[in-house]
A and B are shown apart, each in its own frame.
Chain A
Amino acid sequence: MSTLRTNTFTCVRCGLTVTLSGPDGARRNHCPSCLHSQHVTDHVEGGPSDCLSRMTPIAIAVLRTSDWMVIHRCTRCDELTSNPVSPDDNHLILMRMAVRPLAQPPFPLEVFGEV
């Protein structure tokens, strides 16, 4: 990613040119349109990673502060990262990931109607 001079990066999946800082001033690390990211830091060893592969969003996690986090998984080495959601992230994709477990439950959900 050539981020030094322009303060932007190009999404490795959809090619969108994205500014590094989000609307709330926080530094962003995934594309707001397709939510894909790039594997640039090694979280097990620490420091930069030489993988540089695409990371797909796989899950939504909710912190105690009720902030949403996106869990990314690297398509090449299966490393997981979690990143805070930016206000201009694609809400359709976020919502699709949030309701995905309930759309394909491994057990019948009807029994929970009375709980």
Chain B
Amino acid sequence: MARRHARSVRPQRRKERAHALPGERGDAFRCVGCRLDVPMAAPGTAHRNHCPHCLSSLHVDRRVPGDRASGCRGRMAALGLSVRQNGEWLLIHHCLTCGELSANRIAGDDNALALLRIAVRPLSDSRVPVRAMLTL
């Protein structure tokens, strides 16, 4: 899946690499949502933080990405999509345990169907104002 907005590539923020949780090797993780074994190396991002298949994440970071300071370890489900100025999509994750929110860049191998389902979710409900605005 090629990035269409490759001209405006935003450099990644420098982070401490703290991928390995205690008792893990650190080159892969198992998704808490669908139990898929996910390798850490991902096209398009140096910091994979969600499952490419079901887009679930794990609540491990507190305030700074990569700090692994949160004791929550709850499952984070994809809640919505946001778009940066340069057209890059961000997934908004929502912790099902404590309600914390986080925004994460999508990776090149993320499930396009799952992403699109989240993108069209606001438009899919049949309330009247949505139809009225679409006719504008």
A contact residues vs B (CB 8 Å cutoff): 43-44, 58-62, 66, 68-69, 71, 73, 80-82, 91-92, 95, 98-102, 104-107, 109, 112, 115
Contact = CB atoms under 8 A, between A and B. Distances in A.
B107 to A, nearest CB: 10
A102 B119 contact: yes
A92 B94 contact: no
Contacts of A99: 123
A95 B133 contact: yes
B83 A107 contact: no
B33 interface: no
A60 B80 contact: yes
Given A71-B82, A100-B83, A112-B116, A62 B125 contact: yes
Given A60-B122, A62-B121, 10 more contacts: A58-B82, A59-B82, A61-B80, A62-B122, A68-B122, A81-B101, A82-B101, A92-B136, A106-B1, A106-B4
Contacts of A92: 133, 136
B92 interface: yes
Contact of B80 (A44, A59, A104, A112): A59
Contacts of A44: 62-63, 100
Contacts of B129: 91
B1 A101 contact: no
Contacts of A95: 130, 133-134
Contacts of A58: 82, 90, 103
Contacts of B87: 104, 106
Nearest to B103: A80
Interface in B84-131: 87-90, 92, 94, 100-103, 106, 112-113, 116, 119-123, 125, 127, 129-130
A73 B83 CA distance: 12
A98 B123 contact: yes
A71 B92 contact: yes
15 contacts: A43-B101, A44-B62, A66-B125, A71-B101, A82-B79, A95-B133, A99-B123, A101-B81, A101-B119, A104-B83, A106-B87, A106-B89, A107-B1, A112-B116, A115-B113
